[in-house]
Amino acid sequence: MAQIRQLVYELEWWEFYDLCEELLRITGAPDEVAEELDTIFVQQGLPYSISSTGIAWRLSAPASAVFVQTKELLQHPNLMGPSQQWDKALEHLSKRPPDAENCIKDAVGALEGLARILSAKPSDTLGQIIKPLGTQLGVHPALTSAVSSVYGYRGDEQAIAHGATSALQDLVAEAEMVLHWCAAAMLFLAKKSGRF
């Protein structure tokens, strides 16, 4: 047992998660093993969670609830593009290490895709769409401006929509916030439209 413990301690951090996923794969009781491992993950304050399907970024309870609602919304057959981009955003955050820049890019892209569908302007940018769409849906200008601002952030922050000119920063906290915000914005716009 001491040798196994030593081997685990010598693993690189991402290899530890790979080992946990391998344990799930070879066990005869993946649900029980995942539950035990996730208890350890929580106790140790690890940023990932584990279930019988694998490892994913651990989200706060409010974010998890909003993401479930967003996923349900995006199951509509007319929203396949935004749905696929949303899934990519979540996958980017769950990578080891997280790919925050692509998470942000795809989360805002999913929001832009939904706005394109709602406005029937499939080639316009979110920046071009949001003000007239907000007026059409009766959205307060401050909320329309907030959507425009998150789109502006995606365009301004280096390595998201444009090339990096200096060392990259850790944007995981920003990625979580943008994911949560885009999910809430998609739900809001869909409700205001009455179409989904």
Q: What is the DSSP string of 19-56?
A: HHHHHHHH-S-HHHHHHHHHHHHHHTT-SEEEETTEEE
- Output Rg (C-alpha) for the chain, integer angstroms: 19
pLDDT of residue 158: 79
Contact 98, 175 (CB under 8 A): yes
Every domain of the chain and the residues it spans: 2-57, 61-193
pTM confidence score:
0.82
Q: How far apart are CA 55 and CA 49, in angstroms?
A: 6
pLDDT of residue 186: 98
C-alpha distances out from residue 90 to 23, 63, 86, Å: 23, 12, 6
Query: Taking the mean position of all CA atoms in its chain, how far away is CA 34?
Result: 22
43 Cβ contact list (under 8 Å, min separation 6): none
Task: Using CA atoms of 118, 182, 67, 21 in order, give the dihedral in degrees to the nearest 10.
Answer: 120
pLDDT of residue 89: 97
Terminal-to-terminal C-alpha distance of the chain: 55
Nearest to 111 by CA among 131, 99, 125, 97: 125
pLDDT of residue 170: 85
Q: Which residues of the chain have pLDDT under 50?
A: none
Contact 59, 89 (CB under 8 A): no
Summarize pLDDT for 107-142 with one digit per residue, the tens.
Answer: 999 999 999 999 999 999 999 999 999 999 999 999
Q: How far apart are CA 8 and CA 37, in angstroms?
A: 14
In the numeric block, which tokens belong to residue 16?
A: 């530890």
128 Cβ contact list (under 8 Å, min separation 6): 121
Vertex 189 angle, CA 188 and 191, to 5°? 65
pLDDT of residue 8: 83
pLDDT of residue 155: 85
